[in-house]
């Protein structure tokens, strides 16, 4: 279900006239432009959402590489694009930096409340790209299942991360661990890629790894991810953000199917494929082809 507020925006580009309008009847034959930022996750999800909308009989095109969040949100507000994929927690931080929600449903509720007039979000997906802490399946922390299990040993932990734009900020991770678990980590190591980071954990060079559940890719399955039992890391479920009135009921229903079908493992595998050289549109089309929208 969409939660939205409407307003009239002056000076929109011509495409906005076809895509949006407060209370106006949606023109299903207008071209819906789905945008994305510069990251692999965003471009891949843009193609998935575009394919879903296209299955409802709507003309769609994808415009990737629109820059960072501020830039693609600006394009959305101006009507240059009609829809952009993102994740719930980061959107909430952009629209309401004072919210302290961390659980998936609470984050979604606060996100709906914080949206500017004229914007709406669709159902959030099962797939998430949340910060998680992973340890070696054998070794010093092999018996740990949650972050609370590490609390007494944090002083000895070196925390690893990956040198990638999608990786969690180690300073933010350390602050949240300290606040939520009394876990004071002072030493960090940054690795050039996921393989090097996983090898470092498995060899004992670092005690734990801070990663994003989908963006890190399928290598995460080589490690044990620890439950965030105090919910210090904010939910980051995949969600479509769009201009109010941009889509009709059939297209909205197709987006909801994506929300129910797309898993974190699916997204991690597809991100890995694209990083390996596959075309994001082809990867998205193959995933969509295995579903009935």
Query: What per-residue confidence (pLDDT) applies to 29?
Result: 53
CB atoms within 10 A of CB 1: 9
pTM: 0.88
8 Å CB contact between 160 and 191:
yes
Residues in the chain, pLDDT under 50: 1-28
Long-range contacts of the stretch 87-95 (C-beta < 8 A, 24+): 87/128, 87/129, 87/236, 87/237, 87/238, 87/239, 88/121, 88/124, 88/235, 88/236, 88/237, 88/239, 89/130, 89/234, 89/235, 89/236, 89/237, 90/236, 91/121, 91/239, 91/241, 92/234, 93/234, 94/69
Beta strands, E only, 137-292:
158-162, 187-191, 208-212, 224-225, 238-243
Third-level CATH fold of 3-127+238-289:
D-Maltodextrin-Binding Protein; domain 2 (3.40.190)
Query: What per-residue confidence (pLDDT) applies to 7?
Result: 30
Query: What per-residue confidence (pLDDT) applies to 156?
Result: 83
CA distance 26 to 22: 10
Give the CATH number of domain 131-225; options: 3.40.190.120, 1.10.1060.10, 2.60.120.10, 3.40.50.720: 3.40.190.120
CA distance 160 to 190: 6
87: exposed, middle or buried (Cβ count in 10 Å: 0-12, 13-18, 19+): buried
Residue 219 Cα distances to 128, 132, 171, 197, angstroms: 16, 13, 23, 10
Contacts of 273 (CB under 8 A, 6+ apart): 283
8 Å CB contact between 227 and 151:
no
Long-range contacts of the stretch 271-274 (C-beta < 8 A, 24+): 271/40, 271/41, 271/44, 271/214, 271/215, 271/217, 272/217, 272/218, 274/40, 274/43, 274/44
Nearest to 122, CA basis, from 277, 293, 244, 287: 244
Query: What per-residue confidence (pLDDT) applies to 125?
Result: 98
Pinpoint the residues of the chain covered by CATH 3.40.190.120.
131-225
What is the average pLDDT value for the chain, to the nearest integer? 89
Query: What per-residue confidence (pLDDT) applies to 146?
Result: 96
Pinpoint the residues of the chain covered by CATH 3.40.190.10.
3-127+238-289
Looking at the DSSP bridge assignments, the partners of residue 8 are none
């Amino acid at each position: 279900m969409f939660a939205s507020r409407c307003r009239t925006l002056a000076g929109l580009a011509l495409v906005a006239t076809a895509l949006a309008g407060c209370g106006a009847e949606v023109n299903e034959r207008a071209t819906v432009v789905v945008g994305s930022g510069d990251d692999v996750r965003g471009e891949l999800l843009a193609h998935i959402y575009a394919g879903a909308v296209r299955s409802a009989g709507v003309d769609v095109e994808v415009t990737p590489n629109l820059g960072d969040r501020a830039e693609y949100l600006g394009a959305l507000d101006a009507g240059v694009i009609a829809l952009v994929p993102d994740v719930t927690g980061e959107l909430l931080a952009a629209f309401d930096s004072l919210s302290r929600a961390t659980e998936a449903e609470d984050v979604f509720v606060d996100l709906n409340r914080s949206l500017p007039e004229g914007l709406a979000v669709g159902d959030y997906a099962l797939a998430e790209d949340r910060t998680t802490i992973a340890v070696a399946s054998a070794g010093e922390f092999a018996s740990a299942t949650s972050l609370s299990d590490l609390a007494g040993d944090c002083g000895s932990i070196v925390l690893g991360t990956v040198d990638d734009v999608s990786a969690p900020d180690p300073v933010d991770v350390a602050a949240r661990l300290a606040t939520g678990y009394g876990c004071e980590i002072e030493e960090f190591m940054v690795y050039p890629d996921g393989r090097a980071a996983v090898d470092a954990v498995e060899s004992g060079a670092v005690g734990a790894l801070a990663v994003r559940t989908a963006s890190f890719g399928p290598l995460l399955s080589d490690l044990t991810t620890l439950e965030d039992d105090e919910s210090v890391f904010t939910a980051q479920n995949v969600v479509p953000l769009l201009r109010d009135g941009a889509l009709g009921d059939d297209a909205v229903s197709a987006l909801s199917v994506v929300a129910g079908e797309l898993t974190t493992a699916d997204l991690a595998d597809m991100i890995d494929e694209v990083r390996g050289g596959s075309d994001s549109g082809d990867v998205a089309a193959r995933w969509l082809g295995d579903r009935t929208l």
